[in-house]
Structure formats: C-alpha cells, structure tokens
Structure 1
C-alpha cells in the first residue's frame, strides 16, 4: 500500500443567479458526504496518520477537491464509480485534463496502473492550492516567494497611504496593536501596578544594568522585598564573555520553540513496550509487522508446526503468556532464542501477507504452499545471523530444516581498551555520569598525573533529567576544579561521544548548561587542553565514582584513592587491557 493524493477540478454546468449557487452548494454537500461515506464503509482506505490523529479523506473548496487515500485498486475503482454516478446525477463532471495525481514513494512501480485506472496525469510537487504552497519535506524559501511578494505589495501600499495622509508609523505602533489587549499584557500591567512605586522603575531596566564586573548587583530594596526571588537570581551563572539575551522554551533541550516540542509537551506519553528492542535485529526487516487474521484452525495448525520445529509444546496457555515471554525463551537453548525471534517475526509477516492475498487478490489458500513461503522468508533472515551447514546433527529440527548451524556466521569483533597516562607535566581527568532516575543521579571524576598517581577525585549527587546532563555536569565540575587549583595542562577523557562533540559545537549544548559550558570553554582557551573519548571499559574508575555520587548525598572530594575504586585504580595503574565486543 502507498499514499495517493488526487486533485480534481469539477466542470460546473449550472447557470447564473442565486438559485444556481444554492444548487451548486447542495451538490457539493452531496459530494462531500459521499466521499466520507466511502471511507466509513471501508470502500476507500484512508492514509496512515500518527496516533490520535484522524486522517483526512478529502478537502473541498468550490470546484477544487483533493482526495487522500491508499493506492489499492479496490479503492480507486470505488472512487471512480462514485464520481461517475455523481456526475451523471448532478451535472458536475470531473475535468480530468485539469486534474492531477500525486503518489507516495512506495507506489512508483504501480504508477502506470494507477494512471490508467484514474485517467489522470501525474502532477509534481510543490504546487499551490488556495494560495498555500503544498510541498513534501522541509520548507524552502522559494516555496513562499509568492506569499512574500504579496506581503511586500501590501506594505508598499501602506507606505504610500502614510505619505499621502501624512501618517507616521513608528515601530512601537505595531507592538501596541498586537499586545495592548492581550491576556499577557493585562497580567503584566497588574503585576507592575501591585509592586509599588519604589520597585516599578526596576521593572523597565535591562538585565545588564544589574550586573557589575561579572557579578550580580541587585538593589537592596528588591532583595528585601523578594528574598526568595533574589536567591534564585543570584544562583544563575553569569557568562564571562558578553552574550545577547534571548528567550528560551524551557520544555525543549535546545531552548528553541518548535511545533514538535509543542506537540510533545501537550501529548500523553505512550507506554513503554519492552519487547521492541528485544526482537530488533538487522535480519528482521522493519516492514515486517502486522496482525493475525485467518481461520483459527489453520492458524493453530501452523503455529503447532512451528513449535514442533523448536521441540516446544503448543497450548492455549502459551498463547496467553505470549510468544516472546520469558517462560518460552528460557525453555530454549541460548543459540535457539535468536532463531525463535526470527521465526515469530517472519510468521506474523507471512500470515499478514497471505491474508492480504486472500482478501484482495482472491487467491486460494494452501497450507503446504504457505509453509514453503514461510520457510523461504525464515531462511533469508536467519542466514544473515547463523552460518550455513550441510549437516546439523544433534541440533533443533529448525536448524536441520533450514540447513543452518547454531554457530554464529562470523566471530564477534572486539576492540582492546586500556587507560593511558598523560604526557609529563600534564594531568588527565576521567569523568562519568550515572543516571537511574531524576532523583538518583550523580557524577564523578578523578585526576592522575603522568605516572598514573592519584591527584584527587570528586563525586556529587544531582537531580537531572537524563544521563547526558550528568555527563555534562561532570565535565563542568572537572574544569572548575582545575581552574580553582590553577592546573594549566589538562587532558579530559570521557566515555560520552556527545560530550566530546559539544566541545566542537557548543551551540548544541542544552540551554540549562550553556552559560557554564561557555565559561569552561573560555578557561580551556587560556590553558593547554585536550579532550578525547574512551570506551566505558577503560573508564571504570570514574564510573564507580559516579555511582557512589548517585547513591550518597552531598559533594565529596578525596585527596587519596577511596577504597571502593581501589581495584579499578590498580588495574589502570598496571595498564591492564580490557576488551570491548562490537
């Protein structure tokens, strides 16, 4: 199936006058209700839309109609039969020469068949409908050139009128027109009115007037009147370099307001489905999904045969527990669990495909042919993971039937990981963050010299929203310690590639830490500094400190290695090699 949009232009054969306009409106109402009834009766399949969003069946304005539907032959024929019947009874005939067809990317192969059924040529995107550009993907400036030209013409006419009548339009006039009667404007006037005459002058002052030499300088009257608000302001970090103030959207990470962030903030979160990541593998195509709909006897016979291939007993209790439940998986040997996941996914996809053939193509069902079709699909997926083998004696019947070995197709690759000391005169700091929940999170890090000797370590417990927030705070704290102790040769090492990327692209840092991050970058420019990435297998000491910080309140600084990292610290000091399997 694929998406299909048909833009139709109706040739009107009514006369002129009020009665003709009324008849035209009545006929258009019949057309709109008829298209909606085709969808409600299942004769036309609507396009796919996100959850809780009703798919549009058509858009109608005057004699222009846009129909949205799936590109199956049954729906296309039903649409054309309805339009022919509508034209015969109303006198409004579809002008196919002025109509256009727009198809999705999955329908390109059947383009010729669709054009022959509809008798309408294919159109090209973008196009303009009712003065609005219709396009696919991200908007481009050239799509809105026509609208921009109309705005320029309108503004030019305003300028001409202002010169003729001697009117002056200052910039504040537009702001007054937009905001003088708004709810926000009325609330702001109420707040400023209740502050008192002494505090009202402070409201109109810019923020920069309350900063002196990089520190907050709040009026004593404001601090005494609003102590809680003053403390919140004093906790805000100020940038070392001058920055331009700008509004931020607190819900988003970047601070920018987008339609996606607005939708996420007002929509309800979907429940977590734990089995999605478990069954995902490159051998299972993402298109292979669906639901089961067929004869219960045939389905029971088919699943019983699959269970026999894995020497499992099939019963109604198994159906209630689920095909991928821990009870079913634990009863299989370790190599067979992945093969069982492949079998379940391919079985569901094959049942769905066979069901569509029976319903739309009038095919005759044969259980033997269906099993052969399943085995071909099953082997294609499994052979991407397991090695081919002519003889699989002693293994499950599924391996023997497919001619596969329980062994992996390729031996796993691994990367040697080892902590390396910094050059002479340098200090290396390894940092890490720990996140189990917003209330159970922390970060830690430790400094070591060129001989691997301990120079200091820290651990903090924090309340953050994600693991990357904890990673960022660990780096900020490490550089703050280096700044306070006047260490000028620092090598920062972290197991987060995203944090390393933030050093090259500081504009991507979450807005909550942007000021502290830019202050840290200012410090790194005045010292000898480098940052690298290390896999977590070589960052075990910092990981232990981060876990300690998440489980213990407060902030701690150690001048000697704590006991809980002694084993990790000793292995790093001995340059023990760890292995990361990929």
Structure 2
C-alpha cells in the first residue's frame, strides 16, 4: 500500500488529483490508510473521480492488487442524492450514507450519545459470550459516555462470573475489588475507564507536542510524570490507580508455580467469598445444613473447612512432615497463606512451600465439592497423593526445574 501512497502524492503534486485542505494553513489530505483499508478524500468533481479511477487502474497494473469497487462506497456532504449517484457511476461503486462503520469505528455520528456506541457494546457482547466463560476457569477470564462504560463493565462482570444477560450469576466478590491492581489486593483486571482516560491523555499529549502533525499547535507542555519529561500511558494509569485505591492491610501473594485458578480459590477464601454453607445461608440461599459435611460437628465456614476441621488438621500435619517442617500452628486461613514467611527457608524453598499450600487448599476444596455434590467420600491418603502429583508436575514445569525427579520430590529434596 506504500506504492499507492506514493502514487497519490505524485498525483497531488502534478495537480491531477485535488484533495481536501485542512484549514487555511493546514495540509491537503488525499487519503487515509489503515492496513489494506483506504479512505480517499477529494473535492467533489467528476474530473477528480475519473482521475482517481485511473490512478487505481495504474496501481492494479503495477502491483497486481485489484480493488473490488462493488464493495466500495461514495460518501458526500452537502450534495444531493442525484450527484452522489452520478459520481458512484463514474467510479463503479455504490452510494453510501452517514453514519457508517469503518474498521470498527462509527463515522459521521454524534458519539456523545449512548446509543451511538451500540456497535461497540455489541462487539463486547459477542467476544464475551457465555459459552466462552464456561470453557475457561476463573484464572483464564482474567472519552466514552458514562452510560456506555457502565454497559461494557457489566458485560465484563457477567462474563467473569459465567452468567449471561438473560440469567446473571451470583457475584461473590465486589467488581471494584476484582478490577483493583494485584498490589492493592485485587485481580488486576483494571477499569476500562482508567484505560480510556490514559489513552485520551496520550492523544492530548501528542496534540500539544508533536510537530508536523495535522493537530499540532504551537505551545509546549511538559509532563511531570518522570524525570525526563516524556509522556507515558503507564505512568498516568499508575497515578489514576493511586488516587482510586488505598493500600489494604493484607495483599494476596500470587505464586507463579501454580495455575491462576489454584491461587484464585485461596484468594476468594481469604476474602471469605467461597460458596460455603455458611456463606450461602448468609445470602438467603437454602441449604440442608450449615454443618461441615466431613465432620458434621461445626458450621462449614472457610476457617473450619481449611483450618479447624479434623481432616484439614490431619492434612497440614502430613504436609508439614513431608516437607520436613515444624508442625503448622494455624489460627486463621491467612496464617496458612503466610506460613512460608515465618520459617527459615531459602527463597526457592519458601516459594515451593507456598505453592504446596495453595495446591492443598485447591485439592481440599475440590474434594469437598465432590463430597457435597456427588457423595464421593474424602480419603486422606488419596488427597495427599493428588497434592504431591500435581505439585510435582506444576513445580517442575512452571518452575523450570528440569532436574527435579519424582523420588526427590517425594522426599522434598528441592
């Protein structure tokens, strides 16, 4: 397409083609290129149209790239329908009407209205369909008018929790918490509004500082975001985030040795946002009993399922012995997430121990669900074996510990 640009520039210089002049002192525009899409801009004359047709014919003969004129349209402003039809006949294309969509963007419509953003919302809806949400785990899902931004965020929220516009599912964690950066205790999905403002600021920066551009004005603006005064979208996003969120007392420590879906269960557990019997009852969802399905003694809360239940205590005792660690003294789920920090371990071994605790949490929760929904009893030896197998596969491959053998892993020689 660079050859076409050169031909159009030459035609402008020779006076064979007359483009549109931008203001009294601005440049003359003849065409706009994006990949293989072209918009030609010209004065409304039959001679201009004929010359454009000849230029496109020459381009075809030189490059071999033909243009399907039957898919092209002529758009005109302040001209009647008859004039549009006449020019369309000269070029051999169709008559188009405003507004129209070009490379996904609406052209010729007032974009301040919410309804004008319908195609964008529809694109979101198609991309974030319910069947895609069902195929992905939680770990894998991971200036516009105000009303439009709210619609888009709602579609993201429905997709994340696996619901649809016809039937929403329960949102166990506040959406603001999910969008928050990881360092602020969230999942790091980010707010669309922050991205939008940051990108608009980038255009504002270019408008003020890039000489030779169509939009340039002769005034200088300095960005104080960094020492050298250069603008950065990342910097402005960080400043927006710092003004929106406050640092929490506890920040979940995500571990790269395990899949995100594994850590996600622990992240929800520390927030007390897992669908335990107690949590379901608080949300007025009927349950047969609040008691733990394993011991049938105390209420099945997060703390009981993972810490105080007899099965959980036996599990942590076996894991501490396998990892050659002192017995874990746990009073809360948060203690479990931080146990690796209070033992005198190398950074590698501490990271592996944390991964083992996360895997054990995930496996225990999965086994508990199998018991509740399918009546499959939980056997401690089988649970421990599953933790060891998954831990070996994930730690060896995700941690790139190619020399790690199953024998050494079973002895926790890492």
What interval of TM-score do these two structures reach, taking the shorter chain for normalisation?
A: 0.3 to 0.5
Considering Cα pairs closer than 8 Å and 6+ residues apart, tell me whether 1 or 2 has the greater RCO.
1
**Larger-Rg structure:** 1
TM-score (norm: length of structure 2): 0.33
